[in-house]
Amino acid sequence: MMLKFPSLWIKNATLGDRIANELRLRILENEMKPGDVISENQIAGRYGTSRSPVRDALKALSLDGLIRLERMGAVVQGMDLKDIQELYDVREMIENFAQQRVSKKNVSVLVQKLQQSIDKMELAAKYNDHSEFAYYDLLFHETIVRHADHKRIFNLWSSMKPLIMAVILVTTEQVFSYGSDHVEWVIGKHRTIVRAMQSKDRAVIEKSVNQYFDDSRHTLTESFRPDSSD
């Protein structure tokens, strides 16, 4: 039943987390559509578990904004193009904050770690492994936020991480389907980020972060045809 989510990522995850990850993908891929009403019992039945882990999962999904808990049943909200662009707005805000903060310190250690992530992305690209690629894309950005050395910002990132993970997983799959040129272009964007950060110039960094997420939003606009998945 649970096949979609890369099992490597969730080796020690609790049942609730697995169900949450699974449902995130199903909602993002429009298998569960906005307006659909789901209940704890229904999902528990579907996955052959009790309500307890499902309950945790639905709570998590409601924090993501993917569903809305109501008195009887939960209503799927889903994410349309605008919602995903808003998610990128927030990612841009967080990452700009983080990078500005990072740039006031020595970045050599950070740059080296980022380079490692980029290398792994290259490798994943070579072997056409889109979920591995997505993983290191996510790690790249998490590494930046972590190095900002700001607990609350990192907490913010962590709270959005499962959702971002699911979105990156879906969009990366699409990017791969466009061919290796597009994949290389994505890698190049990450190199650009690193270079901008090394400049340590406030305006340059802000511009580069803005450019990065503008590009991402633009890619979305192309790939997310309205209701293309029906």
Partner DNA sequence: GTAAGCCAACTTGTCGACAAGTACACTGGA
Partner DNA sequence: TCCAGTGTACTTGTCGACAAGTTGGCTTAC
Q: Which of 41, 155, 177, 210 binds its own copies (CB under 8 A)?
A: 155
Minimum distance, C-beta of residue 204 to DNA, in the bound complex (Å): 44
Minimum distance, C-beta of residue 116 to its own copies, in the bound complex (Å): 27
The total of other beta-carbon atoms located within 10 Å of residue 34's CB is 15
- Residue 159 engages its own copies in binding (rule: CB under 8 A): yes
39 token code pair: 């209940």
Minimum distance, C-beta of residue 51 to DNA, in the bound complex (Å): 6
Contacts with DNA, residue ranges (CB under 7 A): 14-16, 39-42, 49-53, 55-56, 58, 69, 71-74
The total of other beta-carbon atoms located within 10 Å of residue 180's CB is 11
Phi-psi sector, 14: left (phi>0), alpha (psi -120 to 50), beta: beta
Strand partners, 74: 38, 69
From the list its own copies, DNA, none, pick the one residue 53 interacts with, judged by a Cβ distance below 5 to 8 Å according to partner type. Answer: DNA
Binding footprint of its own copies, residue count (CB under 8 A) = 18
Binding mask 76-95 for its own copies (x = CB under 8 A): -------x--xx-xx--x--
Q: Which of 4, 26, 59, 120 binds its own copies (CB under 8 A)?
A: 59
Sort 3 into a burial class: Cβ within 10 Å, 0-12 / 13-18 / 19+.
exposed
- Residue 11 engages its own copies in binding (rule: CB under 8 A): no
- Residue 36 engages its own copies in binding (rule: CB under 8 A): no
Measured from the CB atom, is 63 or 187 closer to its own copies? 63
DSSP string, 30-50: TSS-TT-EE-HHHHHHHHT--
Q: Residue 100's closest CA among 218, 203, 228?
A: 203
52 token code pair: 């307890």
The total of other beta-carbon atoms located within 10 Å of residue 199's CB is 12
Minimum distance, C-beta of residue 156 to its own copies, in the bound complex (Å): 6
Residues found near its own copies in the complex (CB under 8 A): 56, 59, 63, 65, 83, 86-87, 89-90, 93, 97, 150-153, 155-156, 159
